Amino acid sequence: MTDQNPAHRAAAIPAEEAVKLQPVAQFGNHTPLRLDSGAELASIRIAYQTYGTLNDDKSNVVLVCHALTGDQFVASRHPITGKPGWWETMVGPGRPVDTNRFYVICTNIIGGCMGTTGPMDTNPATGKPYGLKFPVITVADMVRAQAKLLDQLGIEDLFCVLGGSLGGMQVLRWAASYPERVFSAIPIATATRHSSQNIAFHEVGRQAIMADRDWHGGDYQSRATRPRKGLAVARMAAHITYLSGQALHRKFGRNLQDRDALTFGFEADFQIESYLRHQGFTFVDRFDANSYLYITRAMDYFDLDADYDGIIANAFKGTKTRFCVVSFTSDWLFPTSEARHIVQALNAVAANVSFVEIESDKGHDAFLLDEPEMFSTLAGFINSAAVHRGLAKAE
Partner 1 sequence: MTEPMRAPSENLLQTSGRTDLVLIADLIEPGSRVLDVGCGDGTLLQMLTNIKDVDARGVELSQTGVNACVARGLSVVQGDADADLPAYPDQAFDYVILSQTIQATRKPKSVLDELLRIGRRVIVSFPNFGYWKVRLHLMMSGRMPMTDLLDQPWYETPNIHLCTIRDFVTMCEGMNVKIENAYARRGNRIKMRFSKPGMLANLISDEAIFILSRPD
Catalogue the active-site residues: 165, 331, 364
347 touching partner 1, by CB under 8 A: yes
37 touching partner 1, by CB under 8 A: no
Q: What is the DSSP string of 310-335?
A: T-GGGGGTT---EEEEEEETT-SSS-
295 touching partner 1, by CB under 8 A: no
Choosing from 19, 21, 349, 394, the residue that interacts with partner 1 (CB under 8 A) is: 349
Any alpha helices (H) in the chain, and if so which ranges? 15-20, 139-153, 166-177, 196-211, 228-242, 245-251, 271-286, 289-301, 304-307, 336-348, 372-389
CB of 324 to partner 1, least distance (A): 7
324 touching partner 1, by CB under 8 A: yes
Q: Are 227 and 371 in contact (CB under 8 A)?
A: no
369 touching partner 1, by CB under 8 A: no
Q: What's the Rg (C-alpha) of the chain?
A: 21
Neighbour count for residue 228 (Cβ, 10 Å): 23
354 touching partner 1, by CB under 8 A: yes
- Of 372, 301, 62, whose CA–CA distance to 186 is shortest? 62
248 touching partner 1, by CB under 8 A: no
Choosing from 20, 344, 369, 392, the residue that interacts with partner 1 (CB under 8 A) is: 344
Question: CA-based angle 149:153:158, to the nearest 5?
Answer: 75
Q: Are 322 and 152 in contact (CB under 8 A)?
A: no
360 touching partner 1, by CB under 8 A: no
381 touching partner 1, by CB under 8 A: yes
CB of 378 to partner 1, least distance (A): 8
Choosing from 114, 356, 366, 391, the residue that interacts with partner 1 (CB under 8 A) is: 356
Q: Which stretch binds partner 1 (CB under 8 A): 116-124, 136-144, 301-309, 344-352?
A: 344-352
311 touching partner 1, by CB under 8 A: no
284 touching partner 1, by CB under 8 A: no
Q: Which stretch binds partner 1 (CB under 8 A): 8-16, 166-174, 192-200, 341-349?
A: 341-349
- Nearest to partner 1 of 8, 388 (CB atom): 388
Question: CA-based angle 127:133:137, to the nearest 5?
Answer: 125
CB of 1 to partner 1, least distance (A): 42
CB of 313 to partner 1, least distance (A): 9
322 touching partner 1, by CB under 8 A: yes
314 touching partner 1, by CB under 8 A: no
**From CA 329, how far away is CA 306, in angstroms rounded?**
27
Choosing from 343, 366, 368, 391, the residue that interacts with partner 1 (CB under 8 A) is: 343
Residue 106 main-chain phi, psi, to 5 deg: -135, 125
392 touching partner 1, by CB under 8 A: no
- Nearest to partner 1 of 80, 349 (CB atom): 349
Sheet of 44-51, strand order: 24-27, 44-51, 103-107, 61-65, 158-164, 182-188, 322-328, 352-358
Q: Using N-to-C axis directions, what is the helix angle for 196-211 and 289-301, rounded to 10°?
A: 160
**From CA 17, how far away is CA 145, in angstroms rounded?**
21
383 touching partner 1, by CB under 8 A: yes
362 touching partner 1, by CB under 8 A: no
The SS3 assignment for 48 reads: strand
By CB under 8 A, how many residues form the interface with partner 1?
26
Q: Which stretch binds partner 1 (CB under 8 A): 21-29, 57-65, 246-254, 373-381?
A: 373-381
- Nearest to partner 1 of 58, 340 (CB atom): 340
Q: Are 357 and 325 in contact (CB under 8 A)?
A: no
**From CA 111, how far away is CA 169, in angstroms rounded?**
16
Measured CA to CA in angstroms, residue 53 lies from 23, 61, 62, 184 at distances of 15, 9, 11, 19
Contacts to partner 1 by CB under 8 A: 322, 324-325, 343-344, 347-350, 352-359, 373, 376-377, 379-381, 383-384, 387
